[in-house]
Homo-oligomer: A and B are copies of this chain.
């Protein structure tokens, strides 16, 4: 079993989601949630986040039943972060109907002393200043994966750029890569971002798979073709959980990075097969290994 635990700092939310497959209200969501429930299939997970007084007891029990360490889960006065979104057609993007940040709005994550030796860390999508603050509380991590999004790239471009040499991996989608690098093609964006000092670039392409780029190699994996897409929410976070969890389990080598990308794609494809976290919570080791082999078969000559 896992050599190294994985620390995740991110959002925990109550999501209301509408897709062509149906509607669910106030289900467990948030980037740290999806990431944790994915990564725990590969490694011990240490969760850092904030919820409100309204956060249902059953969700806390779920984290505990899945052996996710909730020492760093803070309950604040107020309401839990809520998001309401809708997907239509091929569900390629979410239309946000409402966002209430609530207790997440002014949250300044504190890393418990027992977490500070973490070697594998996900800095979930948040203000780069808050992400920087987390980084400063860690002893000597081996692999910090930075997640961000177009909002921060547009408003805090310089702050993000300064963080790149401080982390080990950047996890973004292909449009965000072009936006951050200010280049009109993925190929040129990759070169620019590697030149800016990030050692490992992980580029998510949703239904088109994912790509990893370093100065030494590029590796690409397709998306697993599932016929049962119910809810794409959290696919990217589940992908990141599989990637970083696999890396913590197998070690940071070129082959370990490539394998981790395939596991990320596996976990993203499982995540979309139910609303919320249900499918990933119940996935078995053989569900994961079967899909891993199926994905490798799809790229084997």
A interface residues (Cβ-Cβ under 8 A, vs B): 20, 89-90, 178, 184-188, 190-191, 205, 207-209, 211, 217-222, 225-227, 229, 255, 258-259, 262, 296-301
- Interchain residue pairs with CB less than 8 A apart (21): A20-B184, A89-B184, A90-B178, A90-B184, A90-B185, A186-B207, A186-B225, A188-B227, A190-B225, A191-B227, A208-B209, A209-B220, A217-B297, A218-B298, A219-B298, A219-B299, A219-B300, A219-B301, A220-B222, A220-B299, A222-B222
Q: Which residues of B contact A222 (CB under 8 A)?
A: 209, 211, 220, 222
Q: Are B301 and A255 in contact (CB under 8 A)?
A: yes
Q: Are A187 and B226 in contact (CB under 8 A)?
A: yes
Q: Are B90 and A220 in contact (CB under 8 A)?
A: no
Determine the distance from Cα of A233 to Cα of B226 in the docked complex, in whole angstroms. 31
Q: Which 8 A-B pairs have the closest CB atoms?
A: A208-B208, A187-B225, A220-B222, A299-B299, A187-B227, A188-B227, A220-B298, A218-B298
**Identical chains bound together, number:** 2
Q: Are A185 and B258 in contact (CB under 8 A)?
A: no
Contact pick for A227, options B185, B221, B255, B300, CB 8 Å = B185
The residue in A90, A178, A211 that gathers the most chain B C-beta atoms within 10 A of its C-beta is: A90
Q: Which residues of B contact A20 (CB under 8 A)?
A: 184
Q: State how many angstroms separate the Cβ of A232 from the closest Cβ of chain B.
A: 11
Q: Which residues of B contact A255 (CB under 8 A)?
A: 301
The residue in A184, A221, A299 that gathers the most chain B C-beta atoms within 10 A of its C-beta is: A299
Q: Which residues of B contact A207 (CB under 8 A)?
A: 186
A213: nearest residue on chain B (CB-CB)? Answer: B225
Q: State how many angstroms separate the Cβ of A101 from the closest Cβ of chain B.
A: 32
Q: Which residues of B contact A226 (CB under 8 A)?
A: 185, 187
Q: State how many angstroms separate the Cβ of A279 from the closest Cβ of chain B.
A: 16
Q: State how many angstroms separate the Cβ of A82 from the closest Cβ of chain B.
A: 28
A205: nearest residue on chain B (CB-CB)? Answer: B208
Q: Which residues of B contact A217 (CB under 8 A)?
A: 297
A191: nearest residue on chain B (CB-CB)? Answer: B227
Q: Which residues of B contact A225 (CB under 8 A)?
A: 186-187, 190, 218
